[in-house]
Chains A and B, each alone.
Chain A
Amino acid sequence: MSLSAALKSGDVTLLPGKRDEDWKWTDLRGLLRVLPATAPALDLAGLAEGPFDALADQRHVVAGGHENVAIDVPAGSERAVALRVLSRDGGALAGKVTINVGPGAKLRLLESYEGDASAYVTDTAIIFVLEAGAAVERVVLAADGAEGVNVSQAQVTLSPGSEYSQTVITNGARRQRIETQVTHPGAEAKLRLDGLYLLEDKRHADLTTVVLHQGVDGATDQFTRGVVRDQARGIFQGRIVVEEGADRTEARMRHNALILSDKAEIDAKPELLIFADDVQCAHGNTIGALDEEALFYMRQRGLPEAEARALLIEAFVGAVADRIGFEPVRDIARAWAADRLRA
């Protein structure tokens, strides 16, 4: 069951839905009665700049007529790549991106999902392979339209001594899922998986991650925060599996969310499945409203209520953005989040 299989065959019964445990909160089968026609080829000439183009030395686009992208970073080299996935005109798009990062190479991948106001359906599969000692920092800015359906699934394979850091920032879509699956060999490889969702109206965002720790001496640090208002729905599914023998694994998972209206919803499923003996693993999950006592304290010092709320929420959200390593990207992420919060 997958969106890509359904798009390929046109068979809606292949869509994942409520009956699939991992998709029960992001039901595509119940949502899509028919699949749209394949998106026509997009003319890339005269395309406006993407959010990260100025920071990249290579630019790639996934769009109608441009479904496949391959990014290769040779051993020992460094690249900053902007990858844009453009969803337009109510079309169906099935994109495929393969990324190889050679031994000791470094990739900064700045990825954006840019959807228009139409009822498009987009599926993107991204395959990352990191060779020994390779490093990837991936920042995803998902700016979908309110009527769009967007699924992005990344499969990441780490090698010994490699390092993969990811920050996903999204304001959701009609249905949106951004999924990351990581095969972690241990062996001093380091993984950071962060996420931030800021949802309003009837938007939906699903951040799902699965990490398989397969060897000794691996580290995973996961930090996701969300803010939902109106009738929006945020979903966090995080699973870390520490397989037998993957001793001395250090894994940390945190998810904190703020619900700012009675009709908004958060569904969270943090899972640590540990089959090794000697591990340090922890997870924390909190969902709540803004601290009214803190708000009163701030107002007593002279901050009008709206300003006090905004300051607390921006600080809450900023904690995730602060972990982005490269400052210009961090600034873009912070500004984008601030715009969504003030909207």
Chain B
Amino acid sequence: MLHIENLRAEVDGKEILKGLSLDVPAGEVHAIMGPNGAGKSTLSYVLTGRSGYDVTGGTATLDGEDLLALDPSERAAKGVFLSFQYPLEIPGVPALTFIRTSMNAQRKARGEAEITAPAFLKLAREHAAALKIDFEMLKRALNVGFSGGEKKRMEIFQMAMLAPRFLILDETDSGLDIDALKIVSEGVNAMRSPDRGMLVITHYQRLLDYIKPDKVHVLAGGRIAATGGPDLALELEREGYDKYARAA
């Protein structure tokens, strides 16, 4: 599924990713943990093609296809979805309109037919109910005036609607209380499937109590400094990132 090899990237001329290699096979959930400034968010932006994040070396492929050569919207159409740490407000564009326009743009890029209005609304009602989102909220401008928790829930809603093949969750737990964390995690877990991969980026172990990873990687100094099972997350929670930060 996702294959990253010796990836190097810089922001404003400063190298942040320094030869990062990582494999996430289909059907698996991998967690990326690491201290602040290690390059966790940079990795998510490089994979999704944000401008200002310049790749200087290495490769990133999804099922053998070069992601780095594609425009952000083309990567989305290939099935890459990023749940933002700080979701943006889109003034004047109702959430449902935005999601339907995005969905149809992706379908068009893949040569598929547009979704019909009734089919779209049925899907939206189902996913909104599962995530305990008031349907009226979906008629409001996306994220405008929403609380931090509502914005995160809206990210998961969009993810459920767009049904991407590869999910990147960037600090999805930040700003969530326990109840919201449970709902969001259930939403994410419902998307686990044998043909879907996930990268869960988090600073704290807490989220991993709810979304159980198959593997945990420590990102420090722009590289994967250690890889282990779920136990590694618990160890990091106990002992901190010091030893990896120093080694880097």
Contact = CB atoms under 8 A, between A and B. Distances in A.
A311 interface: yes
Interface in A300-325: 300-305, 307-308, 311-312, 314-316, 318-319
B84 interface: yes
Contacts of B89: 294
A49 interface: no
Given A304-B105, A311-B93, A312-B93, A299 B88 contact: no
Contacts of A298: 90, 98, 102
A319 B91 CA distance: 9
18 contacts: A293-B88, A294-B89, A296-B50, A296-B72, A298-B90, A299-B71, A299-B73, A299-B76, A300-B72, A300-B81, A301-B76, A301-B102, A302-B76, A302-B103, A303-B102, A307-B105, A319-B91, A319-B92
Contacts of A291: 88
Nearest to B48: A300
A297 interface: yes
B84 A297 contact: yes
B84 A303 contact: no
Contacts of B81: 300
Given A302-B162, A303-B73, A297 B88 contact: yes
Interface residues of B, number: 31
Interface residues of A, number: 23
Nearest to B89: A294
B116 interface: no
Interface of B: 48-51, 71-73, 75-77, 81-82, 84, 87-93, 98-99, 101-103, 105-106, 109, 141, 158, 162
B3 to A, nearest CB: 21
A293 B89 CA distance: 10
A43 B77 CA distance: 57
Interface in A46-68: none
Contacts of B98: 298, 301, 311
Nearest to A315: B92
A304 B92 CA distance: 19
A302 B109 contact: yes
B171 to A, nearest CB: 15
8 tightest A-B CB contacts, nearest first: A315-B92, A302-B106, A302-B76, A301-B102, A299-B72, A297-B88, A302-B102, A302-B105
A244 B187 CA distance: 60
B93 A315 contact: yes
A305 to B, nearest CB: 7
A300 B90 CA distance: 13
Contacts of A304: 71, 73, 105, 109
A312 B90 contact: yes
Contacts of A305: 71, 73
Contacts of B88: 291, 293-294, 297
B92 A300 contact: no
